[in-house]
């Protein structure tokens, strides 16, 4: 069974104002002391108003769901003990007038000095899916084969329509904010592991990035684990939403590995088309059409989502995940993306209504 793991980032919000609050050190300390939490499962992120959880290596989607429920409950309980709330949203709906301090450590301090306002505005949170692969060369090849489908995942998982208390007009404002970093967005089409390393070494040698942790592509070979890491998704409202993408991403990676073994040519999609399609997905989510990766033409969003499921159907069935993913897609198309749900709450109750939605009990 091919392994899968999930990392999720959350925002910490003041219980009274709903604004980001720098309580990560205290929340992390309380959560890490709980008997249900193991070492290293709850960690800081760049800003002290963010916190991250990481599941153990999982073999089944049922296990992913169980671990996410456990860790989300721990962080929620710790935040309540400290006096703040945990928000599962891709971007802070409101920010206030002061900058959130960075977390402790030389690396984060260096980033604050170097990237300036990008760091100040990094009040965004994502979901990262790790899928086990045989080796580094396979990971690089998989990243290239995943490229055309990453905007579809971004559209499906959009969960950040608000910023500074207003509707941005985008389903995933996080995608736009994160895309401002020097090395971010859709990954290049790598021809080999050597090509990947040459490109990364060139960036490091030129001092355009400070370390490999700043390779913020939407998919990349992990530097810590023998996995491909897909990081295009906004953090999801609940475990059921997250499990859908853990299943889809794992199946996409398996399909890519199979294509490599069968000698299927690498997909030919230009960088400009992929970048524009990513913008389109962030702008519209599933509210209209999407560019179909199969031929580069616009089609109804539901049709393109169905094509993604069809592409991975064999792998999903082999893993026993098909019914879970199909149910998740049906729910998504019925209820709309998390961004659409946030906008419904915003129109009904303004920012307070959104805060109630994104901090509700998972």
Q: 156-189, pLDDT tens digit by residue?
A: 999 999 999 999 999 999 999 999 999 999 999 9
Residue 44's DSSP bridge partners are 51
Query: What integer pLDDT is reported at residue 205 of this predicted model?
Result: 98
Claim: this prediction has a pTM higher than 0.75 = yes
> What tens digit of pLDDT does each residue of 302-313 get?
999 999 999 999
Residue 232 belongs to a domain: yes
Residue corresponding to tokens 């993913």 = 325
Residue 345 belongs to a domain: no
Query: What integer pLDDT is reported at residue 1 of this predicted model?
Result: 80
Residue 187 belongs to a domain: yes
Does the pLDDT value for residue 50 go beyond 90?
yes
**Residue 148 DSSP code:** G
Residue 177 belongs to a domain: yes
Residue 253 belongs to a domain: yes
Residue 131's DSSP bridge partners are 4, 228
Residue 196 belongs to a domain: yes
98 confidence band (pLDDT: 50, 70, 90): confident
d(CA 345, CA 148): 32
**CATH code where residue 46 lies:** 3.30.590.20
In a 3-state reduction of DSSP, which class is residue 120? helix
Residue 315 belongs to a domain: yes
Number of domains observed in the structure of the chain: 1
Task: Give me the domain span that covers residue 194.
Answer: 4-337+353-358
What value does the mean pLDDT take over residues 232-251? Answer: 98
| Residues 293, 269 contacting (CB under 8 angstroms) | yes
Residue 124 belongs to a domain: yes
Residue 43's DSSP bridge partners are 52
């Amino acid at each position: 069974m091919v392994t899968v793991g999930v990392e999720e980032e959350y925002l910490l919000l003041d219980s009274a104002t709903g604004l980001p609050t720098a309580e990560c050190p205290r929340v992390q300390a309380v959560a890490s002391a709980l008997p249900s939490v193991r070492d290293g499962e709850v960690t800081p992120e760049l800003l002290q108003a963010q916190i991250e959880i990481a599941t153990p290596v999982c073999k089944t989607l049922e296990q992913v769901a169980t671990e996410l429920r456990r860790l989300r409950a721990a962080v929620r309980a710790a935040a309540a003990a400290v006096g703040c709330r945990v928000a599962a949203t891709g971007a802070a709906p409101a920010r206030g007038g002061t900058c959130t301090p960075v977390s402790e450590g030389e690396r984060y301090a260096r980033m604050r000095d170097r990237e300036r306002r990008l760091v100040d505005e990094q009040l965004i949170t994502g979901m990262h899916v790790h899928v086990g692969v045989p080796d580094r060369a396979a990971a690089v090849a998989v990243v290239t084969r995943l490229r055309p489908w990453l905007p579809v995942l971004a559209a499906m998982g959009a969960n950040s329509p608000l910023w500074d208390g207003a509707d941005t007009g985008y389903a995933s404002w996080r995608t736009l904010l994160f895309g401002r970093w020097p090395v971010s967005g859709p990954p290049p089409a790598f021809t080999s592991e050597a090509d990947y390393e040459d490109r990364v070494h060139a960036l490091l040698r030129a001092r355009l990035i400070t370390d490999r942790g700043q390779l913020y592509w939407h998919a990349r070979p992990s530097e810590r684990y023998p996995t491909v890491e897909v990081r295009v998704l906004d953090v999801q409202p609940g475990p059921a939403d997250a499990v859908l993408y853990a299943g889809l991403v794992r199946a996409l990676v398996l399909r890519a590995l199979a294509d490599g073994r069968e000698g299927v040519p690498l997909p030919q999609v230009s960088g400009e088309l992929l970048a524009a399609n990513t913008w389109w997905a962030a702008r519209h989510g599933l509210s209209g059409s999407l560019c179909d990766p199969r031929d580069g033409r616009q089609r109804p969003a539901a049709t393109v989502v169905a094509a993604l499921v069809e592409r991975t159907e064999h792998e999903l069935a082999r893993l026993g995940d098909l019914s879970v993913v199909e149910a998740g897609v049906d729910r998504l198309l019925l209820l709309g993306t998390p961004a659409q749900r946030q906008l419904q709450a915003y129109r009904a109750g303004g920012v307070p209504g959104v805060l109630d939605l994104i901090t509700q009990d998972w």
